[in-house]
Amino acid sequence: MSMNLDAIGQTWESGEHTWTSKDAILYALGVGAGAQDPLAELSFTTENSHGVTQQVLPTFVVVIGGGGGDQGPKLGDFDFSQVLHAEQSIRLEGPLPVNGRVRSTSRLVNIYDKGSGALAVLESSIVAADTGRPVAQVSNGIFVRGEGGFGGERGTSAPWERPDRPADRVVVYPTRSDQALLYRLSGDRNPLHSDPWFAARAGFERPILHGLCTYGFTGRALLHALCGSDPAAFGGMSARFAAPVMPGQDLAVHIWDDGRFVTKVGDTVVLDRGVFTRAER
């Protein structure tokens, strides 16, 4: 088994993606919108509430593009159960429409040698299919356990320090015991999040929550705490996945007013090195 180092630098068209109002609502429900108070986030969870205009959660962009698609090069010959989502960033050019059609172009930036594994970093540019207008930039890192040691670059990290004071805001969201089963309906059918047999092969006692589900919960917290719930004010966010989350656990998003954040389950950091940016529009 090995990584396909020849794929580094390759660019490919990731195809088109179309979504509807229903898809945006299903995603919002999948990341907990309305779970604590069904009346609190109606603009994201309904399309026909009186006096309420439907909006789309900014983190929905991870569903509509940026995964690389099946059209991309094969990253290597390895056991899929050893693959983990390591990091994710998004940058939006404006609020996402309720219904839309986009196309994506992706690039394999590099495959870094982390010793215990390999980190493949992909970037995608998402544009409106009909006009070519930029919609978003998405980057994600995929960690493959056991595939390091091939002598490649280790890579560098952007400077980030956790403030030496308590967070300015802490938003706590409970997740449902069936949260992963709900979130997977937005497209990520990785059996790690639903199949006990597959989860056991990856070293987990039970299926774990999707990292991007935790990311979506965190994005909701940032949207409401720092943007006044206005998607137009949401510029982007990046974070590193630090530990698995089990469906049913509570997520506590610790937010500093300068945009830094971490997400915890109890004392364990599950989303680390978080950076939020406001829109510059």
* Residues carrying an active site annotation: 188, 193
Q: Taking the mean position of all CA atoms in its chain, how far away is CA 46?
A: 22
Asked if 245 and 208 touch (Cβ cutoff 8 Å), the reply is yes
Please identify which residue in the block is written with the tokens 């998607």.
Answer: 231
The 3-class SS string of the chain reads: CEECHHHCCCEEEEEEEEECHHHHHHHHHHCCCCCCCCCCCHHHHCCCCCCCCCCCCHHHHHHHCCCCCCCCCCCEECCHHHEEEEEEEEEECCCCCCCEEEEEEEEEEEEEECCCEEEEEEEEEEEECCCCCEEEEEEEEEEEECCCCCCCCCCCCCCCCCCCCCCCEEEEEECCCCHHHHHHHHCCCCHHHCCHHHHHHCCCCCCCCCHHHHHHHHHHHHHHHHCCCCHHHEEEEEEEECCCCCCCCEEEEEECCCCEEEEEECCEEEEEEEEEEECCC
For residue 177, count other CB atoms closer than 10 A to its CB.
11
Q: Please name which of 129, 130, 185, 107 lies closest in space to residue 16, comparing C-alpha atoms.
A: 129
